[in-house]
């Protein structure tokens, strides 16, 4: 992968492809980090939604970013994913960021971007994978939960962990208040995770994402 540097010119900027299905607050947080200079050397090359009316894709359009909609409903996973994957490749996307993308990726998609797909999940994985993670955590009675940014592999919410942020579950919490506080942490975590990946200073060793022993690739 290209390596980011604080003085990257346009040509050497690392290209992000954002995939979303809904609200898009994580996408907006990433975009704001880039705008504010907290995330240097990257640009959003394209925002893709699998849901035509997703508020996130509407927001991307209003920001003037390149957008595409590939409706997934009623299509075979492999066929839909092949279209999305080809589109990302055509736009020379280096790193795919799933930001509330409510769809499992086919093994072919995952293989097309080895260790180049990030996902964010609203729990401290491996606890509470799958849907309604905040409610799962609350109902289980954990005192600490949080969010995880991880590489995507072929299993649900499973790949090597890049960044986690933890927070306390309060006695007064319900699933809504907990989800709101986790979301604030998500917005910080995703920027941290992208910065870590594009720095070129880390590598996947087994399940661990750790600093390289011998400098960047």
DSSP secondary structure letters along 151-205: E--SSTT-S-EEEEEEEEPPTT--HHHHHHHHHHHHHHHHHHHHHHHHTT-EEEE
Q: Is residue 26 within 8 Å of 100, Cβ to Cβ?
A: yes
Nearer to ligand GRF, 38 or 212 (CB): 38
Binding site for ligand GRF (CB under 6 A): 20, 22-26, 56, 99-100, 120-122, 183, 186
3-state secondary structure (DSSP) of residue 45: strand
The nearest distance, CB 92 to ligand GRF, in angstroms, is: 24
Q: Which is nearer to ligand GRF, 129 or 200 (CB)?
A: 129
Q: How far apart are CA 33 and CA 2, in angstroms?
A: 19
Choice between 130 and 216, CB closer to ligand GRF? 130
Q: Identify each DSSP E strand in the chain by its residue range.
A: 14-20, 42-49, 67-69, 95-98, 117-121, 144-151, 161-168, 202-205, 208-211
Q: State the minimum distance, in angstroms, from the CB of residue 28 to ligand GRF.
A: 8
DSSP designation for 87: H
Please say if 80 is a catalytic residue. no
**For the packed helices 25-35 and 55-62, what is the interaxial angle rounded to 10 degrees?**
20
Tell me which of 121, 158, 176, 187 is the catalytic residue.
Answer: 121
Pick 17 or 56: Cβ nearer ligand GRF: 56
CB of 104 to ligand GRF, least distance (A): 12
Rounded least distance, CB 25 to ligand GRF, Å: 3
Q: Which is nearer to ligand GRF, 20 or 160 (CB)?
A: 20
CB of 80 to ligand GRF, least distance (A): 19
Write the CA distances from 118 to 7, 46, 142, 193, integer angstroms.
24, 15, 26, 8
Catalytic residues: 121
């Amino acid at each position: 992968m290209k390596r980011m540097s604080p003085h990257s010119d346009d040509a050497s900027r690392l290209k992000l492809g954002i995939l979303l299905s809904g609200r898009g607050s994580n996408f907006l947080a990433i975009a704001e980090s880039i705008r504010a200079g907290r995330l240097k050397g990257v640009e959003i090359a394209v925002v893709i939604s699998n849901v035509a009316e997703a508020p996130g894709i509407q927001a991307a359009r209003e920001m003037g970013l390149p957008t595409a909609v590939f409706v997934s409903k009623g299509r075979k996973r492999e066929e839909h994913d092949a279209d999305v994957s080809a589109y990302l490749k055509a736009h020379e996307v280096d790193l795919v960021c799933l930001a509330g993308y409510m769809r499992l990726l086919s093994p072919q998609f995952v293989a097309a971007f080895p260790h180049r797909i990030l996902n964010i999940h609203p729990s401290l994985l491996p606890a509470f994978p799958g849907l309604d993670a905040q409610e799962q955590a609350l109902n289980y009675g954990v005192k600490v939960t949080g969010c995880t940014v991880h590489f995507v592999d072929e299993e649900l919410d499973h790949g090597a962990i890049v960044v986690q942020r933890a927070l306390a579950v309060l006695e007064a919490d319900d699933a809504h208040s907990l989800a709101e506080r986790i979301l604030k942490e998500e917005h910080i975590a995703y920027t941290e995770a992208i910065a870590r990946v594009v720095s070129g200073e880390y590598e996947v060793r087994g399940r661990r994402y750790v600093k390289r022993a011998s400098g960047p690739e």
